[in-house]
Amino acid sequence: MPNARQRNAGDKASSVVLSSVLCPPSSDHYAVFGNPVAHSKSPRIHAEFARACGENLCYEARLAPLDGFAAAARQFILEGGEYAKGANVTVPFKEDAFRLAEECTPRARAAGAVNTLIFQEGRILGDNTDGAGFTRDLTENLDFSAAGKRVLLLGAGGAARGVVESLLALSPVALVIANRSAEKAKSLAAAFAGRGLAPCGMGFAALAEEPAFDLVINATSASLAGDALPLPAGIFSARSLAYDLMYGREETPFLVQARKGGAKRLSDGLGMLVEQAAESFFVWRGKRPQAAVRAALIRQLRAA
Ligand code: ATR
C-alpha cells in the first residue's frame, strides 16, 4: 500500500508561502493554511512557543486556493518529507481538513472539523484544539467556572459546533443555542443530545422568554461584517461574562452590545487563539508552553 506521501506525489502544487521563514534543513516543519492567511498570528505564536520550550522547528503561513486545500497540504508534506510534522488549519478549510485526515480524534469528530493536522509515518491524523483552547482561556485565564451556570451560545455554524462539547463538559445547568436560523440551532442542539445535559436550540426572538445568562458566547460571524445581533436586552445581567470568539483591534460589535446590555465582564477570543495554539503545540511536541509565556503572548498580541 502506498502511504499518503507516495499516493499523492502527483498532485499539482498550488499554495503560496506567505511568511519569510527559511526552514533550516534539519528542523521540523509546520504551517498554518487559510484563505486569507496573511493576518494570521499563528507563525508568531508558535515561534515564541518554540523559543520558550527549546524546540527546533519552523512554522510558516500558507495561502491555499479556496478549492485546493488538500493539494496544498499534500504539497507541504511532499516538500518537507520526513521533516513535515504538522499543520494548523483555519477558515475556511477546517471541514476540508476533517475530510483529508485519515483518522480523527474524538474531539475532532464531535466538532466535525479539524484545526490541527499531524503527519506521522505517512499518515495524516486530524485533531481539533479549539474547544480545549476555549475552555483553558475561560477557566484559567478568566477564572470563570461554568458549573451550575446558565450558558448561552450564539450561532450554529462551524465555530459554535467546535465549542459545544467543551461547554457541556463544564457542567452548566442549562445550555441554550440560539441562532438567526432557529432550525440550525435546533439541529445542532439535537446533535449533542444524549451526552448528559441536553442543549436547547431556538431562534434569537425566543430568547426574550429566557432569564439572564451567566455566560453568553458569540460564535456567529456577524462581528466580521460589523453587524450587531438582534438580541433581547434581558439576556445579560451585571454578573454575565460576555465572550466573543472573534477578536480585533476595536471592541467587537457583540462586546459593545453586551456592555450596553449590562454585562460587567467582557472578553474577546484572543486568549482562546493563544490557548488553542498551545494545545496544538502540545499535541505535536509533547510540551506545553508555560502559563507565563502564554499570558505574555496574549498581552503582546493585544498591544500589537
Ligand atoms: P463559522 O465557521 O465561522 O461558524 P459558518 O459555519 O458560516 O461560519 O456560521 C456562521 C454563523 O454566523 C451562523 O450561525 C450564522 O447564522 P445562520 O445560520 O442563520 O446563517 C451566523 N451569522 C452570520 N452572519 C450573521 C448576522 N449578520 N446576524 C446573525 N447571525 C449571523
pLDDT band at 4 (very low <50, low <70, confident <90, very high): very low
| Same structural domain, 115 and 237 | no
Determine whether the shortest distance from the Cβ of 184 to ligand 1 is under 6 A. Answer: yes
Counting atoms of ligand 1 from 1, which one is nearest the CA of 184?
18
Range of 51's domain? 4-128+271-303
Nearest 5 degrees, angle CA 44-CA 49-CA 50? 100
| Same structural domain, 236 and 208 | yes
Say how many Å lie between the CA of residue 182 and the centre of ligand 1: 12
Model confidence at 195: pLDDT above 80:
no
| Same structural domain, 78 and 21 | yes
Nearest CA to ligand 1 atom 5: 157
Q: Is 287 a catalytic residue?
A: no
pLDDT band at 22 (very low <50, low <70, confident <90, very high): low
Cis amide leading into 25 (omega within 30): no
| Same structural domain, 113 and 178 | no
pLDDT band at 21 (very low <50, low <70, confident <90, very high): low
Options 41, 85, 94, 186, the catalytic residue: 94
Determine whether the shortest distance from the Cβ of 288 to ligand 1 is under 6 A. Answer: no
Q: 226-282 pLDDT, tens per residue?
A: 888 999 989 999 999 999 999 988 999 999 999 999 999 999 999 999 999 999 999
pTM check: above 0.85? yes
* Pocket perturbation via mutation, ligand 1, pick of 180, 204, 207 by most ligand atoms within 8 A of CB: 180
Counting atoms of ligand 1 from 1, which one is nearest the CA of 160?
4
| Same structural domain, 256 and 143 | yes
Assign residue 41 a region (left: φ > 0; alpha: ψ between -120 and 50; beta: otherwise): alpha
| Same structural domain, 90 and 211 | no
Question: What is residue 14's predicted lDDT score, i.e. its pLDDT?
Answer: 67
| Same structural domain, 68 and 145 | no
| Same structural domain, 225 and 288 | no
| Same structural domain, 75 and 8 | yes
Determine whether the shortest distance from the Cβ of 203 to ligand 1 is under 6 A. Answer: no
Question: Pairing state of beta strands 123-127 and 116-120?
Answer: antiparallel
Determine whether the shortest distance from the Cβ of 227 to ligand 1 is under 6 A. Answer: yes
- Tell me the pLDDT of the chain averaged across its residues: 92
8: amino acid identity, one letter: N
Mean pLDDT confidence for 69-74:
98
Give the CATH number for residue 168.
3.40.50.720
Question: What is residue 106's predicted lDDT score, i.e. its pLDDT?
Answer: 97
| Same structural domain, 230 and 144 | yes
Question: What is residue 8's predicted lDDT score, i.e. its pLDDT?
Answer: 34
Give the CATH number for residue 83.
3.40.50.10860
- Structural domain total, the chain: 2
Question: What is residue 25's predicted lDDT score, i.e. its pLDDT?
Answer: 73
Cα 217 → chain centroid = 14
C-alpha cell at 77: 508534506
| Same structural domain, 16 and 49 | yes
Model confidence at 71: pLDDT above 90:
yes
Nearest 5 degrees, angle CA 210-CA 213-CA 216? 115
| Same structural domain, 164 and 211 | yes
pLDDT band at 20 (very low <50, low <70, confident <90, very high): low
Counting atoms of ligand 1 from 1, which one is nearest the CA of 204?
29
Counting atoms of ligand 1 from 1, which one is nearest the CA of 156?
14
